[in-house]
Every structure is written in C-alpha cells, then in structure tokens.
Structure 1
Amino acid sequence: MKYNQAYDRAQQLKKFYKNLLWFGIVAVIITIRNFYRTGDFERSVFSGSIILTIWGIILAVKAVKLFVLNDEWENKILEDELKKTKKPINF
C-alpha cells in the first residue's frame, strides 16, 4: 500500500471512529431523556428514534465500505476478472 493510500485510509478510519463516538454520546443522551420522560428503562431504550436509526444505517454502510469492501478486496476482484479475460497465446 502506498503512503498516500495509507494516509487516506487512516483519515477515513479517524472520521469513522469520531462519528461512531458521537453516535454513542447522542444515543446515551436520547436514552436518558426518554427514561426521564417515561420512567421505564426498557421502553426508553427500545422506543427508537428516527435520527438514531438513519444515523445507524449510515454508520453501518460506512463500516462495510471501510472494513469489508476495502482496497484489498477490490484488487483481488480486479485480478480475478483479469485472469478470466486473459486469453492464452498459441505459438
């Protein structure tokens, strides 16, 4: 992996973890707020929030992009496709 690619990946990971931390903080604040409103902990945790649901989906997509569909995966698929289309040379 080249330096620029490694630097870009480190920056993406930094942004992802920062976003994940903020998600956790906001989720705790919303859960505590709902607990004080309802007085029931189970109801306050599982009542759901549109904001947290959408944010969670976005974080899940980013996590898949960062950890599953990374550069190594892309290079492997590219090499496999090139091997399929490569025709043998007959002399």
Structure 2
Amino acid sequence: MWYPCNNAKEMYDKFEVTHEETNRVNELKTSLLTLDYELFKVNPSEGIKEMFHRSTDIINGLKALGKSNPNKKMMKKMFNSLPKSWEAKSDSH
C-alpha cells in the first residue's frame, strides 16, 4: 500500500525501513535455503525426478539471492546425498 510523504526526510525514512525489512527477509531466505542445501538428502519415497526438482529449487533460490556455490561442489553434494540403493550395480562374470 502506498502512503504519501510530506517531505523528503519522511520519504527517506520509509524507504530505509522498507529496505531494511527486505534485507532481513533475504537474509532469512538465504539462511533457510542454505540449511536445506547443507542437510539435503533424498527422501525414501522420492524418485530421481522429484529429487532433481527439489535440489534445483534450492540451488536456484540461492543463486537468485546471490549465494551460489561452484557447480562442481553442488554436483558433489547432490551425488553424495543419493541413497546406497541408487548406486550402480556391477555384474562381474
């Protein structure tokens, strides 16, 4: 909602409060997404598509907030989060 300001000082004060709250919201989003990234594990009932979409949402959210990790680090994290049941099976004859 827009409220008219009576002078430049009042306008600056409102802008400052709005900017501070935006920064706090972004910091909170960054913290939550970082926690999701660090604790990322594949859910037992989750397929590869669901896992991929969930991880992509986390990574894209961090990138949108200016917090991205190098691709190599992100890929390693995702591979390390895969359950043992998803490991490739080798058949040695």
State the TM-score bracket (shorter-chain normalisation): 0.3 to 0.5
Higher helix share: 1
TM-score under structure 2 length normalisation? 0.36
